[in-house]
């Protein structure tokens, strides 16, 4: 450390932080679809996690702020300590890692705030290729619950090149809107939206949709009920016949519909 001023007359205190980016000490372990809770309790503190990725098995990470004062900052490094991934846009801090090499990756959660106030947070990892979720057939309405223990839910949608996919959501929970992110079969993010997104796909394979809250600082709860059936060709959009809402539970409907390419929105 040295004084960088022109006269060399400045004095002051400072702090240093050192973290090994490959084989980090005292690191937690991340699994697909499992929320990991942590807390940053002092300036320059960080929490490190490791994740073992298979070759080409793309994944995304989301960091939630549970305290309000924390400014989430998320970094990902490969087995050699090189930074990887692309930061995502939106109200939740995230990083997409596309077609990684096989190996152990290090995930570092930090506070990016100037005051380093810290606070509690949550991190969830979801695969965007070979998703850790059940297949969701086209033309159906799927059920799910978003809450503090499961802030994100992923769905795998089989599609053929030229299909026009329409993904919609609705909610009777006051102030709640679902954020939906669509990924192609290689794990590349195609689009993001609330309420509805549409995409004509160019490759055959399993597409991944990740659903969470469009705005969040603390855990919330939302339910996805309802059902519908696929209408035979000419592939008219199916209608949703959802059951009456439960009087004690907030609810959300989400529908996935396949349209022919000529009717893409």
Q: Are residues 121 and 160 in the same domain?
A: no
Q: Are 147 and 222 in contact (CB under 8 A)?
A: yes
Please tell me which residue, 173 or 181, carries the higher pLDDT value: 181
Query: What separation, in Å, do the N-terminal and C-terminal C-alpha atoms of the chain show?
Result: 58
* CATH number reported for the structural domain that contains residue 226 in this entry: 2.60.120.380
Is pTM beyond 0.75? Reply is yes
Give the position of tokens 């989400």.
Answer: 254
> What percentage of the chain has pLDDT greater than the value 70?
78
Query: What CA–CA distances, in Å, run from 48 to 18, 107, 127, 195, 228?
Result: 12, 6, 19, 34, 43
pLDDT digit string (tens) for 176-232?
778 899 999 999 999 998 888 899 999 999 999 999 887 654 444 444 432 222 223
Number of domains within the chain? 2
Do 34 and 118 fall within a single domain?
A: yes
* Pairwise CA distance, residues 136 & 156, whole Å: 6
Residue 87 pLDDT: 94
Looking at residue 220, its pLDDT comes to 42
pLDDT for 1 equals 64
**Position 251 confidence tier, pLDDT thresholds 50, 70, 90:** very low
99 and 171 in one domain?
no
Q: Are strands 252-259 and 140-142 parallel, antiparallel or unpaired?
A: antiparallel
Domain of residue 174, residue span: 140-263
Do 82 and 117 share a domain, yes or no? yes
On whether residue 239 sits in a domain, the answer given is yes
pLDDT tens by residue, 77-107: 999 999 999 999 878 899 999 999 999 999 9
User: Which pLDDT band holds residue 265 (cuts at 50, 70, 90)?
Assistant: very low
């Amino acid at each position: 450390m040295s004084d960088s001023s022109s006269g060399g007359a400045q004095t002051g205190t400072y702090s240093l932080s050192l973290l090994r980016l490959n084989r980090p000490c005292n690191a937690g372990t991340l699994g697909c679809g499992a929320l990991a809770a942590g807390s940053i309790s002092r300036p320059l503190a960080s929490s490190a996690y490791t994740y073992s990725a298979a070759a080409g098995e793309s994944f995304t990470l989301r960091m939630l702020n549970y305290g309000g004062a924390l400014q989430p900052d998320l970094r990902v490094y490969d087995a050699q300590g090189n930074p990887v991934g692309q930061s995502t846009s939106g109200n939740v801090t995230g990083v997409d890692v596309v077609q990684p090499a096989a190996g152990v990756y290090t995930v570092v959660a930090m506070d990016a705030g100037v005051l380093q106030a810290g606070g509690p947070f949550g991190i969830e990892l979801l695969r965007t290729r070979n998703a850790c979720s059940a297949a969701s057939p086209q033309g159906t309405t799927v059920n799910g619950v978003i809450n503090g223990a499961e802030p994100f839910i992923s769905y795998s949608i089989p599609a053929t090149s030229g299909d026009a996919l329409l993904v919609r959501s609705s909610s009777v929970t006051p102030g709640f809107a679902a954020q939906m992110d669509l990924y192609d079969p290689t794990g590349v993010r195609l689009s993001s939206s609330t309420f509805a997104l549409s995409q004509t796909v160019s490759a055959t394979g399993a597409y991944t949709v990740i659903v969470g809250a469009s705005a969040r600082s603390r855990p919330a709860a939302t339910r996805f009920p309802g059902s519908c059936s696929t209408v035979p060709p000419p592939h008219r959009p199916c209608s949703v016949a959802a059951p009456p809402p439960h009087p004690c539970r907030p609810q959300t409907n989400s529908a996935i519909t396949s349209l022919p390419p000529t009717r893409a929105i």
